[in-house]
Amino acid sequence: MLIDSNKIALHNEDLIKSHTNKLVFTASEIGETESIIQKLIDFQIAIPSWALGTGGTRFGRFPGGGEPRSLEQKIEDVGILHALTQTAGAVSLHIPWDVPEDYNAIKQLASSLDIKFDAVNSNTFQDQKNAKESYKYGSLSNTSEAVRQQAIQHNLDVINIGNKLGSKSLTVWLADGSCFPGQNNFQTALQNTENSLKDIYKALPNDWKMLIEYKPYEPNFYSTVIQDWGTSFMLANACGEKAYSLVDLGHHLPNSNIEQIVSILMLKGKLGGFHFNDSKYGDDDLTVGSIKPYALFLIFNELVYGMQNNPQNPDLAWMIDASHNIKDPLEDLIQSLEAIQEAYAKALLVDQNELKSAQQENDVVKCQEVLQAAYRTDVRPLLQEARLKIGAAINPLQAYRSLNVREELIKERGKHTVATGL
Ligand SMILES: [Mn+2]
């Protein structure tokens, strides 16, 4: 299904009058708006191929119909999101599920929808059919050399696939760890992981990055080999200058100060990728900004500071890594995109000079006032203006519903479809 740009224009015509009134008011409140609007236009967020279907838990899964069953259909879904928002201009593939049969056809389809190929993701956390070795006791950390070699080779294959599509980075997330005390030798597991990552790193093309994701627990419940940002940072340093840490918002223990982690990694030039989601308890993969919007704003405040003050840190690979257990996946992603833009715009509003001088004077009250003045500003008219300027829908969710996108997808693909790769 393709979104007709005329229909978006009609949707915008209906909303433009009230939008313009709100924008005038917002502009009068905050002054200069053009640079913020341009930054919002430039900010593109990748959609992972596994986020386009309904997720589930170990208790069940309730597919909503019209889900993409092939790589082509997944890219078409990202195309729908991008047409409505002009913010989702990239897809992040997961191998082995998204191996193209016809590379040229896939590249053409993506470019016709203005979609780029972001980081490619390897998978060594479950066994594939016909695999010789099992990852039951780990992959890159496994005590068996044969298992480690299989996992290394898989990552090299993923680099090769990504290279043919124009990707520029490999994301490695490991489920490796242990479920019970004594099961693993911590030092051996980490050493094996480091050696395996170095072997993968050696095959990385010169203009690529390797992004190393961390997570404190799950699916292993006693220990995880790459448990935190310090371990990821250590491994990235051991591999070399093209290796970076990747922060996934859900991959922290409750109440971790993620904004501080982000800040320190950027100071050290080692923050390479970022996965958005939200959580109440653990790696809940909920809609971005649905639980802790102020925490998201504080994180964005550090990201903006880093982007403005840390030239040693590269441009980040931004991605939504969420699951949609009971919502329409595309509607959930539209909500997440909006929450990300909102937090970004608010962070851009922070008066950095005023904050700095308040910090110098140890005016703690003023510091809080500066941050919260930005946070309390309604920036939605700026998001809408950015969308209007680039041909997206002023209200993407409303447009999605009034264009009956899900109904059309169900007509095209059927009611009982289950997306692959989750
Ligand atoms: Mn992630």
Distance 25 CA to ligand 1 centre (A): 38
Residue 396 inside a domain? The answer is: no
Per-residue pLDDT tens, the chain, 422 aa: give them: 899 999 999 999 999 999 999 999 999 999 999 999 999 999 999 999 999 999 888 888 888 899 999 999 999 999 999 999 999 999 999 999 999 999 999 999 999 999 999 999 999 999 999 999 999 999 999 999 999 999 999 999 999 999 999 999 999 999 999 999 999 999 999 999 999 999 999 999 999 999 999 999 999 999 999 999 999 999 999 999 999 999 999 999 999 999 999 999 999 999 999 999 999 999 999 999 999 999 999 999 999 999 999 999 999 999 999 999 999 999 999 999 999 999 999 999 999 999 999 999 999 999 999 999 999 999 999 999 999 999 999 999 999 999 999 999 999 999 887 776 65
Kindly report the three-state secondary structure assignment for every residue of 121-174. Answer: ECCCCCCCCCCCCCCCCCCCCCCCHHHHHHHHHHHHHHHHHHHHHCCCEEEECC
Q: What's the CA-to-centroid distance between 274 and ligand 1, angstroms?
A: 8
Task: Give the environment of ion ligand 1: residues with CB less than 5 A.
Answer: 248, 275, 321
* DSSP 8-class letter at 274: E
The reply to whether 19 falls in a domain is: no
Both tokens assigned to 391: 């041909």
Q: What pLDDT is recorded for position 63?
A: 85
- Output the CA 408–ligand 1 centroid distance in Å: 30
- The alpha carbon of 21 and the centre of ligand 1 are apart by a number of angstroms equal to 39
User: For position 413, what pLDDT does the model report?
Assistant: 95
- Please, what sign has the CA dihedral across residues 256, 120, 155, 99? positive
Query: Closest Cα to residue 164, out of 201, 200, 124, 205?
Result: 205
Gap from CA of 7 to ligand 1 centroid (Å): 34
Distance between CA 101 and CA 164 in Å, rounded?
A: 12
Q: Is residue 49 part of a domain?
A: yes
Kindly state whether residue 324 falls inside one of the protein's structural domains.
yes
Residue range of the domain that includes 114: 44-347
- Say which CATH number the domain at 136 has: 3.20.20.150
Buried b / exposed e along 355-364 (16+ C-beta atoms within 10 A): beebeeeeee
Is residue 391 one of the residues assigned to a domain? no
Looking at the structure of the chain, the number of domains it has is: 1
* Residue 402 main-chain phi, psi, to 5 deg: -75, -25
Closest residue by Cα to residue 172 from 252, 101, 242, 80: 242
What's the gap in Å between 32 CA and the centre of ligand 1? 35
Residue 372: inside a domain: no
Instruction: Name the DSSP class of 98.
Output: T
Range 98-101, long-range pairs (CB < 8 A, 24+ positions):
98/49, 98/71, 98/74, 98/421, 99/71, 99/161, 100/71, 100/161, 100/164, 100/165
Instruction: Let me know if residue 377 belongs to a domain.
Output: no
Domain membership flag for residue 131: yes
389 CA distance to ligand 1 middle (Å): 31
CA distance 379 to 382: 5
Are the beta carbons of 258 and 214 closer than 8 angstroms? Answer: no
Quote the ligand 1 centre to 275 CA distance (angstroms). 5
Ligand 1 centroid to residue 94 C-alpha, Å: 12
Contacts (Cβ under 8 Å, ≥6 apart) of 257: none
